[in-house]
Structure 1
Amino acid sequence: MLTIGKLGASAGVKVPTIRYYEQIGLLPDPDRSAGNQRLYPKTTMDRLAFIRHARELGFPLEAIRDLLSLSDRPDQSCAAADAIAKAQLQATRARIARLRALEAELERMVSQCACGTISDCRVIEVLGDHAHCAHDHQVADSMGD
């Protein structure tokens, strides 16, 4: 059995994150010691490592919840897991496309800078008016990625 600190250190996850995953039901409620200290079995460490790796790959928490639910029933078809992974791949490709458009726009903006005064600054001009952009990179959720 591991304490929350040892669990976090072993999985590379901070203690508040572990508590949050417990609150939202991604991790089961732990057993408690006589002193009311959380105690976790190795299976929780494995589950936490799964969550951490999925987060590193960009999976949203709801997809991770679904994948964990599927992993709890190993005799089922993996079609649902494949569908979740394919959706994540599509989302990743869309983010990459947005980032490439942002990169191109930033390169264009910087290359057009004459390094004069702010009143003639192309960077300030483009940032002040999206109409000066060559690419449509406005995406409502781009700040949340």
Structure 2
Amino acid sequence: MKQFYKSKNLLRLSFLAAILLSVASVFNSCKEDDEVEFKDHLVQFEAKIVNGGTAPTPPVSTFKTIISQVGIKQETLFDSPGLTWSSGEFFVNSSQSQLNLSANANLLNSDSKLTVTIYIDGEVAKTKTVTGNGTKEAAIAHSFLEL
């Protein structure tokens, strides 16, 4: 009668089990690395001027330039009318990774304010306010990448 558990057969079975276990672990680890999920986010850019001082009569503060950038796509707006500019809401996939907004304006009073804000999914992601008179600039950036 042959014995099943001879040392030669036992060595072959253990070698086969080690190979199967290592192949399974390699496939399992590669599966976790490949799962990169990008999400769509609702984004809105906003730039706002608050005139300081007590006299509401013209002249008023004005935007000189507003620059917005999503990924590598940049848009520049010169001499935007009014005291508030908004991009409107639009969808951005997080694979774009970077959002940038900058604005500069001529502010007339020492307590005038220029504020730039990036909203993501209806919440303020980044905001910056500068105060003073003369030409002032505010710039912000948001990255979807988690460092």
Higher relative contact order (CA 8 A, sep 6+): 2
TM-score range, shorter chain: under 0.3
Higher helix share: 1
Give TM-score scaled by structure 2 length: 0.24
Give TM-score scaled by structure 1 length: 0.25
